[in-house]
């Protein structure tokens, strides 16, 4: 059903995903309406297609319906009326698109994006600014930060995280990320090499961790920078 959701405008893309049942939450629809996908893709003519698109350096921006699935799955951990919303980690932030959606879903939270290639980090910061998002930590502790680093290690100094999204497939579940989940916290992560599945990892208020396999997917691997992209090729 995914391909049926392509639109001519960002609003049409979101409306079609709502009508096709790919987005069921009004909060997710609103947040995605606030992020114009054309600011995050190199080829503007495919901006509102419901398909992944290459963004350079061996990376892709995921299809809009995958972004929607991730947001809907993580939404219970981002309550709208929370007085003190938790921090959010977006590993393999790539284009910065989902980092921006998280910002609109939980504007009071600190959102940390990590990508391991500096040109992608630079590109995502440009994308966010183009989309009207003020980058940097604000005086009240909220804001959006994207830095270059190994996402498998997370960002201990900014944790624990109520929500961790991983945008690249890990061969095995990275323990450091499980450790950095808050109590409660939820991680949405593709795991596997040849065959990959989305796993939902929950940590409850007592620190107990449960793992649930959701559905099969195809993501770029969570790997080392030189395995993903070589400047001389
Ligand atoms: N959610 C992003 C997905 C980008 S593709 C989007 O929709 O735009 C996956 C990203 O993971 C790529 O940008 C890639 O550079 C990054 N990545 C792969 N391995 C990584 C690692 N070990 N640490 C951090 N980022 C990594």
Per residue in 112-123, pLDDT (tens digit) is 999 999 999 999
* C-alpha–C-alpha distance, residues 108 and 133, integer Å: 13
Top CATH class of 56-226 equals alpha beta
Question: Would you please indicate which residues are annotated as catalytic (active-site) residues?
Answer: 62
Which residues does ligand 1 sit against, CB inside 6 Å?
Answer: 59-62, 91-95, 97-98, 114-117, 120, 150-152, 167-168, 220, 222-223, 228
What pLDDT is attached to residue 172?
97
pTM over 0.95: yes
Per residue in 17-53, pLDDT (tens digit) is 999 999 999 999 999 999 999 999 999 999 999 999 9
Per residue in 84-109, pLDDT (tens digit) is 889 999 999 999 999 999 999 999 99
Q: Where are the domains of the chain?
A: 56-226
Per residue in 140-185, pLDDT (tens digit) is 999 999 999 999 999 999 999 999 999 999 999 999 999 999 999 9
What pLDDT is attached to residue 233?
55
Q: Which of 115, 151, 166 to mutate to test the pocket of ligand 1 (most atoms within 8 A of CB)?
A: 115
* Whether pLDDT at 3 is above 70: no
128, 99 Cβ separation under 8 angstroms:
yes
> If you measure from the C-alpha of residue 94 to the centroid of ligand 1, how many angstroms do you get, rounded to a whole number?
5
Per residue in 198-219, pLDDT (tens digit) is 999 999 999 999 999 999 999 9
Share of the chain above pLDDT 70, in %: 98
Mean pLDDT for 10-22 is: 96
**Distances in whole angstroms, Cα of residue 67 to Cα of each of 1, 28, 118, 180, 198:** 15, 10, 23, 22, 12
């Amino acid at each position: 059903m995914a391909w049926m959701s392509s639109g001519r405008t960002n609003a049409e893309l979101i409306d079609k995903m709502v009508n096709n049942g790919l987005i069921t939450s009004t909060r997710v629809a609103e947040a995605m309406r606030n992020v114009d996908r054309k600011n995050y893709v190199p080829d503007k003519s495919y901006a509102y297609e419901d398909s992944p698109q290459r963004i350079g350096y061996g990376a892709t921006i995921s299809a809009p319906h995958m972004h929607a699935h991730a947001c809907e799955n993580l939404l219970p951990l981002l309550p709208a009326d929370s007085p003190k919303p938790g921090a959010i980690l977006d590993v393999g932030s790539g284009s910065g698109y989902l980092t921006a959606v998280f910002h609109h879903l939980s504007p009071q939270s600190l959102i940390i994006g990590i990508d391991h290639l500096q040109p992608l980090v630079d590109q995502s910061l440009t994308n966010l600014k183009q989309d009207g998002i003020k980058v940097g930590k604000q005086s009240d502790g909220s804001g959006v930060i994207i830095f270059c680093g190994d996402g498998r290690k997370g960002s201990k100094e900014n944790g624990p995280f109520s929500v961790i999204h991983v945008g690249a497939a890990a061969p095995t579940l990275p323990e450091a990320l499980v450790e950095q989940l808050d109590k409660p916290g939820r991680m949405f992560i593709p795991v596997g090499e040849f065959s990959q599945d989305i796993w939902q990892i929950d940590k409850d208020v007592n620190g107990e961790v449960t793992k649930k396999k959701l559905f099969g997917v195809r993501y770029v691997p969570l790997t080392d920078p030189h395995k993903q992209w070589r400047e001389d090729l």
